[in-house]
Structure 1
Amino acid sequence: MFRKHRLHFILSIGCWVSFLLGAQLAHAAQVKGKVTDENDNPLSYATLYVEGTTLGTTTNIEGDYALNLNPGNYNLVFQYVGYLKQKRSITVGQANVQLNIQLQPETLQLREVIVNAQSKDPAYAIVQQTIDHKKQFREEINAYQCQVYMKGLQRLDERPDRILGVEVPIDTGIVYLSESVSELTFHRPDKVKERMISSKVSGNQSSFSFNQASQTLYSIYDDLLKVEGITERGYVSPLAKNALFFYDYKLEGVITEGNYLINKIRVYPKRKTDPTFEGHLYILEDLWRVTSFDLTLTKDHQLEFLDELTVTQVHAPVADSTWVMLSQNFEFYLNTFGFKGSGYFSATYSDYLIELNPEYYDLTSSNTETIDTSGVTAPNPQLSYTSIDKKDIKNEILKIEEGSNERSDAYWDKMRPIPLTTIEKKDYYIKDSIAVIKNAKAYKDSTDQIQNKISIGNILYSGYQYQNSYQEYTLSIPSIIQTLQYNTVEGLLFNLGIQYTQSRDDNKVNRVTTHLRYGIASHRFYGQMEYRHYLNHRNFETVTISGGQFVKQFNPDDPISPFINTLETLLDRRNYMKLYERTYLALGYQREITNGIMLKPAISYSHRHQLHNETDYSFFYRDSRDFTSNTPDHIKVVDTSFEDHSALQVQLGAAIRFGQKYISLPDKKIIVENKYPKLNITYTKGIATLGADIDYDKLELEVEDDISMGLFGTSTFRLGAGAFLNRKNMEFMDYQHFNTNASVLARYDEGYFQLLDYYYYSTDQHWAEGHLVHHFNGFMFNKLPLIRKTKVQAVASLHYLYTDAIDNYLEMGFGVEHIFKLMRIDYFSSFIDGHHEAHGIRLGFGF
């Protein structure tokens, strides 16, 4: 679920903020109170709004609400799922108004039903009517703008002291509390723009909220509802086209609200483990619209890291029969890896500006294109001639305004539509009060002293990191397992990597990485250093300088991990890694020249020296198996050894993503996923000058993307092709090599073959390759009674290669991932020109 890991949130607003704050709020009064049930228990997240408008709010978890209104007469509507709607007429003057509301449980009337052997519950006919009309409900609004207030809270009730020997630094209690105010613009079918005007994070005034309204635009009329960061597969809506295959329905009764009859329908899965919800829909008779719903997911429904998630929405009418969302709430409970907690994200939507679709509304009579339903100055909708131009919605899906995190407490007291609860006020007070103390050098030094303590877990397997929070730098040192390696060229070796990172305002500024390496069998000492300077985080401008004398794999992508090679060499007596010595100096640069086009030029000069095996030791198979030489085997090249030589290489790379979506922070840019593939173009030139011997030209093209297939899972593909335009003078390390894996311990990185020899089919001419991996995300195994309880998932893959030496190489694999949430196992079979070549099992990490 977290493969791509990922939840993205996005926001925006205009110049009316100054007017709203400076002019309107100066004269507005506040209507506030508490909403309770028949027993005076608070009703959390109850919705209230001014009748005929979209001006409203919701109650907090304690049932309290607050709504700013200009002087005038208003009808306030209070509603809560499962309770009767209540309307109150009030007059607002200059003084605040206290209005407490007690809602009564809904009174359900039973419909007259004719029962026979063939009859179905009338809920099915009501649901079918809604499904038949949902195309209109999805398309009747061309575009809208609205203001969104979001508040998120996450608390931790229990936590483990350590994970894999490493101390867990998070305390119990509220771990995240944040509020945001945004302007959200949507244009059908899927264009979204958001600008965050205000952001407040408890205990960290310099950070920004990740409460992003645009990522929670879920419509009950969509066929599939997918919550980023919660599910990979998505969940079938109770109103999907094929919903009757997944759900059963029961009409629990009818509610009368004014001129409306509302059907209360219970929805529940036909099969408990299907990706489905359970809960209630409230559907208007004759209009067949959903007025509100509450739907719940549990672990039975393939939730990965949560025990339970409940989604609630409340809608209200505007512009005659058009309805919009007024409030939305996500409430969840967590229980995984020893962590237990809960939280919520609550949002209110107001001040709508709606552009209606002329296919469903006659707009010619009034010559209007847009309806302003803000209700700030009057309770009735106002007509406007301003349309919402989708051309204004660019690829910047979220812009966080500079200074949005610097709003005063007075601002939030006025703008906050959902009052803070007692515990939230306390959290703000305590964390904001000690924020100044936390920024002091003495405090940071004291916390660093605790964090910088060395443990056995740091030494053995996790590595150690020294942190200086005040000066904003870290020093990282690998563990013993990461430092000790073994290969046949150097024998037992110590490869110590030390990394120094200097940051400023949570952004990396400089990074220095040093590697010191000594092989006991080879008696050779190596060292290299890389310096990376981050010039501009908004366009990803970076300069990299590196150099030294070090060992290098013939494939510059280093496909054989040192850990896997160490195990294979010592335990299975197979020395897959082939190394040569390189003394080099390199310079790299990257910069995004315009949105979606990244240039990556680089130049390097190196002297390359042949290395040989220096040890013959292994734990097993010493009498039955020989190590291979340190020169790679190749189908055409009899001897891949080489004489000492020098190489001057220039590389020009470009990464292109058309229609690239991104988030703008005041000091950085964040790229988000979008529907278009990514194109990589690389041209490499070996130049025979300045004493260099290598002379060749190589051009490479690569396309990669992810494709969501709804309930059927997600596919990832990578297609590559290229050719050598000139190969006047080359050595074997200059060939085009392919990322492969011959060990039973797999690397499941994208673009890897699993049964192909590392160098046997490398080429100096032309090639084409393709990789497709499909993650079923529970589509297959959730049907199997015993297997589905383990929450493992199926995965299938297909890999293809064509070169001058091999016409058609094909690999097919099928496996199981998410084993114990972490592991993956696959069975692969390979074919050359349709003839079976090899097969094998691969084990690795897959989650």
Structure 2
Amino acid sequence: MKKFLLPLFFLFCITAFGQTKVEGMVTDDSGMPVAFANIIFINSSEGTITNDNGHFYLESDETYDAIKISFIGYETKVIELTQKVNYGLEIVLAESAEALQEVVVYTGKQSKKNNPAIEILKKIWAKKRQNGVRMFDQYQYDKYEKIEFDLNTIDSAMIKSKLFKGLEFMFEDLDTSRITGKTYLPIFLNETFSKVYGDNNLDREKEDVLGNKNSGFSGNQAITAFVEDLYSDYNIYNNYLKFFDKSFTSPLSKTGVDVYNYVLSDSTFIDNKWCYNIIYYPRRKNELTFKGDFWVNDTTFAIKKINMQVTKSANINWVKDIYIEQDFDVVNDSVFLLKRDYMLSDFSFTKKEESKGVYGKRTTVFDNYNFNIPRTEDFYKAVSDPYDPRVFEQDSAFWKNARLEQLNDDEAGIFNLLDTLKTVPKFRTYYDLVSILGSGYIEIDKWNIDLGDIYSSVGVNDAEGIRLRGGARTYFGQNDMWRLEGYMAYGFDDKKFKHGFQGKFLLDRKNRLIISGGNRRDIEQLGLSLTSTNDVMGRSIASSSLVTVGTNDRLSNINLSTFNIEIEPFTNVKLNIGSSYRELSSALPDAFSLDYVDSTLPTGISSEVKQFDISTTLIYTPGKRTIGYGVERSDINDDYSTIFIKYTHGIDGFLESDFDFKKLQFSYTQPWQVGGFGRLTTSIEAGKTFGAVPLSLLSVIPGNQTLFTIYNVFPNLDFYEFVTDTYVTVHLEHNFNGRLFSRIPFLRKLNLREIIGVRGAWGELSEENIALSAPTNIPLQAPTDKLYWEYSFGVGNIFKIFRIDFNFRGNYLENPDARRFGVTGSFGFSF
């Protein structure tokens, strides 16, 4: 009886909403699937196209009684719909000899010459700057955004599984996706209402958030930041659209003719405007492209409606499907404005049709456009506080008016569902597990403390042997105004305890005035970065690497105390004034010496440096986006540049400090999206130390004796192989994201990604500094006579998580134990 009732239950669920639903397959006379065939409801502009396997699903809130199926080279077919829900349709298209004779160039790969679709595309390029809000001096509009996450592909086996035992009530309200036809259960919903103001003459825009309502995992900053990064804004008129850190070629791109086939399919009136319908689909597999169609006006050549769906073969991980649709409103003969933007992402471990996953959906509705209302520049500088408590406390009356698109029954039910789930112990267990794996911390809510991080619990190095570490931090919420954290560690070989603790306090939220300080006594692998560490809680991967290349015994004891004052006077401009006191000595003095000449001692040699310094640091990160307003914030994006300037003054005599010196350092890091050719990351660093200092205070060209791929280091250099007081380094790394491998037939299906890198370093070391550290057993050498350089070739996305780099040393092969070649690798989850 249960087996009989369950299908009826699902049938009811998927037919309870929507007026017309159609699903099926399109094949030719021989039974082969017809990919990218056009499916449209008769007498409408609502449609879709078949996927690579000829499958389609189409849904509308309106009632229709027929669909039309067409594709160039085949006879157009009309199918009558006898009921609201029509599943399992098997549609066979017959080849049209007449059509093939007339438009033979449009079969399969489309010609770029004498193609009316491409002629229309050229006119879109010419007119695109004249459409929308950019035509006016000033503009303003209301913006309502709704982000939702759903469990999808829910079946009886999933409901009955042990995983959801005791949580069956979750599945009482299921809906069906109008895009994929799969059942889903909403589990997260975020709503935001804001007013946007812009001035094209001043090149200014600001968004005032007036309301924000969250259900689901609103207290988890990591999830919230992920959602924000996931759904960044995009413009379909741009040549490339960035999703999941990948650049997809837009179907409206000027380079689109090289990667897409275009077909002029239909024309009709939409909102009393004559529009053309153009179908597009990729010329090659495994590239970051879409398939779909768009409607374009015949006089202004502005897009009226566009649908985009990522092809199954696209080289992107963990995302089975991406579907985008945008509708534009006709204001007059020359102005089309974005009215509605909808994006659906289907996250899954595999791209198999039956695989289960999570839908991520964003709906943005725009309304109440007004133009040419001038405002002062001060108006745009006065940015509202999106974290004002009043924004999160708006009542039901506010949301009734603010929702430019009303919630359906399932969306409205999320709030009640999540309130119930939070009281279920089993659900809390699942949630806690995911949170621990994501953040690395175990939450102890009743104490307002997090334990961790768990990923630093165990380590191994030559000085400590096996090392255990345990830590904790205060955590009242993601926007804490202060935070304390600390750790204890123990090495089983040296039989010593180590520790670190730190406190941060946010004194002024507007200017982000923060004071912080702490102490750390530990063993560390210095020389992995050109800037000396002032982080009393961090630890480099080289300090506890399980496997090293060559002998890695150049570890140091460090006792570091810091105090810092930080302020952000302007957005993304951070100024830090701080002081530090450090004591440095070798952790393995028999193998690695940090001795230096000290005429004040009877032996004339000192093995420990005591140094006090003050520093001023300026960090500028244009384009950086963050979330939260507490003492610690989360970054949303990673495509911003970073300019770093630091001045350090070491003071002799204060707190028994040993040396007086000045150091100036500069770095600039810039990621570049090179259109459809992937992502190039560039960085340059330069610095100079004025005054005599020993080895422990010099600038070491960062080497890498681990097997991990680490950016901004030289993988074929040993630690302390090159030491400088003046230096310049350059790093270039380009990830093609599979652009090249996708053109090689036997590699295409593996979705591998190719990475190339080039690195160089030049430096000097004065005779005075060499003499000061003369007793050391480290050969003091700088790459002065010729630039040291390396190059590498890498393969990423191996089994979706691994990357291997093959690193080659360009010169200085005569150095003792010089490593000509090395292999490094890394693993991680990325799109």
TM-score normalised by length of structure 2: 0.71
Q: What code does the residue aligned with 1:817 have?
A: G
Residues 101 and 576 of structure 1: CA distance in aligned 2, closer, same or farther (over 3 Å) = closer
Asked if 2 retains the 8 angstrom alpha-carbon contact of 1:585 and 1:605, the reply is yes
For 1:388-408, what per-residue CA distance to the aligned partner results, in whole angstroms no more than 9, with x for missing partners?
Answer: 667754596984554122122
Report the Cα offset of residue 548 of structure 1: 5.8
Distance in structure 2 (CA, Å) of the matches to 1:242 and 1:449: 49
Q: Distance in 1 between matches of 2:444 and 2:16?
A: 52
SS at match of 2:473: strand
Q: CA deviation at 1:796?
A: 1.4
- Listed as ranges, the matches of 1:505-544 within 5 Å are 506-507=479-480, 509-520=482-493, 522=494, 524-536=495-507, 539-544=511-516
- Give the Cα–Cα distance (whole angstroms) in 1 for the partners of residues 327 and 232 of structure 2: 14
- 1:218–1:187 CA distance, 2 compared to 1 (3 A): farther
Residue of structure 1 equivalent to 2:320: 307
The correspondence of residues 233-248 of structure 1 with structure 2, limited to 5 A, is 233-248=246-261
Deviations, residues 785-837 of structure 1 (Å, cap 9, x unaligned)? 23232222111111111112313111111211222222211122222389997
Aligned pairs for 1:562-641 (under 5 A) are 562-564=543-545, 566-568=546-548, 574-583=550-559, 585-612=561-588, 629-631=591-593
Deviation at residue 702 of structure 1 after TM alignment = 1.6
- The Cα offsets for residues 248-274 of structure 1, whole Å up to 9 and x where unpaired, read as 222222213575322222111122333
Preserved contact between residue 502 and residue 509 of structure 1 (Cα < 8 Å)? no
Structure-2 change in CA distance of 1:191 and 1:242 (3 Å): farther
Distance change (3 Å), C-alpha of 1:327 and 1:518: closer
Q: What's the offset of the Cα at 1:761?
A: 1.1
When residues 633 and 155 of structure 1 are mapped into structure 2, their CA distance, relative to the original with a 3 A threshold, is farther
Report 1:306-325 matches (<5 A).
306-325=319-338
Could you tell me which residue of structure 2 aligns to residue 797 of structure 1? 757
1:658 Cα shift? 6.7
> How far did 1:247 drift?
1.7
- For residues 204 and 742 of structure 2, the distance between their equivalents in structure 1, rounded to whole angstroms, comes to 34
Task: Please tell me whether residue 154 in structure 1 is matched to residue 149 in structure 2.
Answer: yes
Q: Deviations over 1:368-426 (max 9, x none)?
A: xx2xxxxxxxxxxxxxxx23667754596984554122122233233323232222222
CA distance change for structure 1 residues 218 and 80 in 2, over 3 Å: closer, same or farther?
farther
1:422 to 404, 409, 427: 409
The match for 1:561 among 517, 542, 545 is 542
1:649 matched to 2:628: no
Given residue 752 of structure 1, which amino acid in structure 2 is its aligned partner? V
Residues 1:501 and 1:154: Cα distance change in structure 2 (over 3 Å): same
* Equivalent in 358, 366, 376 of residue 349 of structure 1: 366
Residue 445 (structure 2) aligns with: 469
Give the whole-Å Cα distance in 1 for the aligned partners of 2:497 and 2:681: 39
Within 5 A, what are the aligned runs for 1:832-843? 832=811, 838-843=820-825
1:813 maps to 2:792: yes
Indicate conservation of the 8 Å contact 2:479/2:628, yes or no: no
**Against the structure 1 CA distance between its residues 426 and 290, is the aligned structure 2 distance closer, same or farther, given a 3 Å change threshold?**
same
Measured in 2, the distance between the counterparts of 1:312 and 1:201 equals 24
Partner amino acid, structure 2, of 1:561: A
* TM-aligned CA deviation for residue 843 of structure 1: 2.1
The share of aligned pairs that are identical, in percent, is 17
Cα gap change, 1:835/1:142 in structure 2, threshold over 3 Å: closer, same or farther? Answer: farther
Give the residue type in structure 1 aligned to 2:652.
I
Give per-residue Cα distances to partners, 1:175-208, cap 9 Å, x unaligned: 3112221112345598542222111112578799
CA separation of 1:274 and 1:448: change in aligned 2, threshold 3 A: closer
Partner amino acid, structure 2, of 1:741: N
Q: How far apart are the structure 2 equivalents of 1:185 and 1:213?
A: 22
Q: How far 1:452 sits from its partner (Å)? A: 8.4
Aligned to 1:127: 121
| Closer, same or farther: CA 696–282 of 1 in aligned 2, 3 Å | same
1:753 corresponds to 2:714: yes
Change in Cα spacing, 1:39 to 1:305, as seen in structure 2 (3 Å) is closer
Structure 1 Cα separation of the partners of residues 747 and 125 of structure 2: 34
- Relative to 1, partners in 2 of residues 1:249 and 1:281: Cα closer, same or farther, differing over 3 Å? same
Partner of 2:705: 742
Residue 670 of structure 2 is aligned with which of 672, 691, 705? Answer: 705
Q: Give deviations 1:605-630, integer Å, cap 9, x for gaps.
A: 3444444468xxxxxxxxxxxxxx22
Give the aligned partner of residue 777 of structure 1: 737
Quote the residue 1:824 is aligned against: 803
SS at the partner of 2:313? helix
Residues 145 and 305 (structure 1), Cα distance of their counterparts in 2 relative to 1, 3 Å cut: farther
Aligned to 2:475, the other structure's residue is in SS state strand
Give the TM-score, by structure 1 length.
Answer: 0.70
The residue aligned with 1:225 is 241
Secondary structure in 2 matching 1:424:
helix
Q: Please tell me the residue identity of whatever aligns with 2:460.
A: Q
2:288 maps to 1:275: yes
Change (3 A) 1:656 1:105: farther
Output one character per residue of 1:261-294: Cα deviation in whole Å (capped at 9) or x when no partner.
Answer: 2222211112233322111111222332221111
Q: Judge which range, 498-507 or 667-676, deviates more.
A: 667-676
Identify the residue that residue 70 of structure 1 maps to in structure 2.
none
Structure number with greater CO (CA < 8 Å, separation at least 6) is: 1
Q: Match of 2:284, SS?
A: coil
Kindly state the Cα deviation for residue 464 of structure 1 after the two structures are TM-superposed.
Answer: 8.5
Looking at structure 2, the residues matched to 478 and 587 of structure 1 have their Cα atoms a distance apart, in angstroms, of 27
Displacement of 1:473? 1.5
Q: Assess if the C-alpha contact under 8 Å between 2:524 and 2:543 holds in 1.
A: no
Query: Residue 732 of structure 2: SS of its match in structure 1?
Result: strand
Task: Tell me the distance in 2 between the aligned counterparts of 1:270 and 1:141.
Answer: 38
Contact 1:632–1:760 (CA under 8 A) maintained in structure 2: no
* Distance verdict in 2 for CA 1:704–1:787, change over 3 Å: same
Following superposition, the deviation at residue 603 of structure 1 comes to 2.8
Q: Which amino acid aligns with 1:777?
A: N
Read off the aligned partner of 1:177 and give its amino acid letter.
Answer: L
SS of match in other structure, 1:254: strand
Question: Distance in 1 between the 2:264 and 2:447 partners?
Answer: 64
Letter in 2 for 1:255: T
Contact 1:609 1:643 in 2 (8 A): no
Q: How does 1:67-466 map to 2 (within 5 A)?
A: 81-82=46-47, 102=63, 115=102, 120=114, 122-137=116-131, 140-157=135-152, 173-188=185-200, 192-203=205-216, 217-227=233-243, 230=244, 232-257=245-270, 260-336=273-349, 340-354=357-371, 370=372, 386-387=373-374, 392-394=379-381, 399-432=386-419, 466=442
Q: Is the 8 A contact 2:449 2:474 kept in 1?
A: yes
TM-superposed deviation, 1:651: 3.1
Distance 1:633 1:666 in 2: 46
Distance in 1, matches of 2:187 and 2:752, equals: 30
SS in 2 for 1:226: strand
Q: Which moved more, 1:537-546 or 1:392-401?
A: 392-401
Contact preservation (8 Å) 2:730, 2:761: yes
Name the counterpart of 2:90. none
1:349-374 C-alpha deviation (Å, 9 max, x unpaired):
100123xxxxxxxxxxxxxxx2xxxx
Unaligned runs of 5+ residues in structure 2 are 1-14, 23-42, 49-60, 77-97, 106-112, 172-184, 534-538, 597-603, 765-781
Given the alignment, which residue of 822, 826, 829 partners 1:844? 826
Matched position secondary structure for 2:486: strand
Aligned residue identity for 1:553: Q
For residues 706 and 463 of structure 1, the distance between their equivalents in structure 2, rounded to whole angstroms, comes to 25
